[in-house]
Structure 1
């Protein structure tokens, strides 16, 4: 039976009279990839902070499985450029890490040759894989990936998405992947959740391989197998203040402006 790893139940958070999240319902199960999308300021980062236990909701609750272990991959790596730090030493800083697992983890991600490299000179794709390795060293059953393809070219994005899927298949872990882009998501994502303070819409992603924008962005071999354009299926729209205006007539419009 599939285990539920985390569940947001009517979660809301307000700060200085401003609503950051409102009535969020979302679940993440083992073996499931959930992609969270939304515009800037939509509350994605706040939602992640709540999941990680760094921020408490004002209202509602989040339920976590007793055995939940989260491996977190941040957006960027912030390291003093004057500090000499190899990949090996960087990964050895992970709390409770079994140092014997560092090399096998790098091998799994195809970057064993970077073991003694300085982290400051890594390419965008190499940096993201090192960050993914750090998340995996926690032996997680839930991976939280914040903008995992940031700073990576299109070919590298395809490779990373395939890698994330293979990790999910091997470990049967849940994956919550946060994306800034409202259109580009993994084709094999199980659930896409779009938020703009509240949940605007959710569902499975759809392949739009014939769309001109898709061809322009992902005209590389195998891209249609790994990345898709998610066609929003909304049942409402928002006014300039984010309030819901209608339920049926404007279902084709986005929840953001």
Structure 2
């Protein structure tokens, strides 16, 4: 295996002497999709910020591979409501050439919005815009904080599928935070359950049986993740509408079909 893109070695972050992230060890390699889950206040966003270098580390170490290019998708796009801003202008603020920006927008399915106002985009369109901005940098590592925030369940399934495709195309690593437990179990290779410290980690199939996972999220959730399977033969666009039929596939977790359960 190649050298990791990111290595966390006993990473600890404290606020007012209280550990928010406590002795976390993690390695992210090319091709990995690693999802961090956990209750509110578990330290997930703090962990991401430490990787990005925007949160000071109290103890331990974050090591990034030399020359690592990171594409970051924040949880929210916060803009001044009175500031006129088109999608094109927003992308160009990344410092990337227009051709790269347009290519990234096309890849995430929102090229037609180039001249639209960012303020008027739907939740799904905003998330795909943020993903395009990260993609334009041709990152070695994609870091996503709740990438499906504000997107309906069909759009979420489509977005996670796109993230998998981008991982394959770029041969990059992906680390993301998610609360969408059913969906993320079909979209990730490894799950880390964080509650300040790492409660448990492993493949989606394994972690759903782990006592620490069950204690954190509850037996019904764990059971549904372990046994829920269905097939579908279509895919959705960013609005969640069915746009095409395709090969019959099986997944664990909700894939955005109209019979999704909650």
Structure 1 length-normalised TM: 0.80
Rate the CA distance shift 1:112–1:181 in 2: closer, same or farther, 3 A: closer
Q: Quick check: 2:108–2:162 contact (8 Å CA) kept in 1?
A: yes
1:48 and 1:143 mapped to 2: Cα distance? Answer: 11
Give the corresponding residue for 1:19. Answer: 19
Give the corresponding residue for 1:52. Answer: 52
Q: Quick check: 1:38–1:181 contact (8 Å CA) kept in 2?
A: no
Give the corresponding residue for 1:121. Answer: 120
Give the corresponding residue for 1:149. Answer: 148
Q: How does 1:149-168 map to 2 (within 5 A)?
A: 149-168=148-167
Give the corresponding residue for 1:69. Answer: 69
2:119 and 2:129 mapped to 1: Cα distance? Answer: 12
Deviations 1:231-255 (A, max 9, x none): xxxxxxxxxxxxxxxxxxxxxxxxx
Q: Does the residue aligned with 1:4 lie in a helix, a strand or coil?
A: coil
Give the corresponding residue for 2:9. Answer: 9
1:213 Cα deviation after fit: 11
Give the corresponding residue for 2:242. Answer: none
2:174 equivalent to 1:175: yes
1:22 and 1:221 mapped to 2: Cα distance? Answer: 43
Deviations 1:64-96 (A, max 9, x none): 1002111000011111222211100000001x3
Rate the CA distance shift 1:71–1:5 in 2: closer, same or farther, 3 A: same
Q: Does the residue aligned with 2:90 lie in a helix, a strand or coil?
A: helix
2:151 and 2:33 mapped to 1: Cα distance? Answer: 20
Q: Does the residue aligned with 1:127 lie in a helix, a strand or coil?
A: helix
2:131 and 2:251 mapped to 1: Cα distance? Answer: 18
2:63 and 2:225 mapped to 1: Cα distance? Answer: 42
Q: Quick check: 1:38–1:194 contact (8 Å CA) kept in 2?
A: yes
Q: Quick check: 1:158–1:227 contact (8 Å CA) kept in 2?
A: no
* Structure 2, gaps ≥5 residues long: 209-220, 236-248, 255-262
Rate the CA distance shift 1:64–1:213 in 2: closer, same or farther, 3 A: closer
Q: RMSD of the TM alignment (CA)?
A: 2.7
Give the corresponding residue for 1:131. Answer: 130
1:71 and 1:144 mapped to 2: Cα distance? Answer: 6
2:252 and 2:164 mapped to 1: Cα distance? Answer: 12
Q: Does the residue aligned with 2:204 lie in a helix, a strand or coil?
A: coil
Rate the CA distance shift 1:146–1:212 in 2: closer, same or farther, 3 A: closer
2:144 and 2:42 mapped to 1: Cα distance? Answer: 17
Structure 2 length-normalised TM: 0.79
Q: Quick check: 2:22–2:196 contact (8 Å CA) kept in 1?
A: yes
1:17 Cα deviation after fit: 2.3
1:99 Cα deviation after fit: 1.9
1:32 and 1:2 mapped to 2: Cα distance? Answer: 12
2:20 and 2:196 mapped to 1: Cα distance? Answer: 6
Higher helix share goes to which structure? Answer: 2
2:98 and 2:253 mapped to 1: Cα distance? Answer: 37
2:23 and 2:54 mapped to 1: Cα distance? Answer: 19
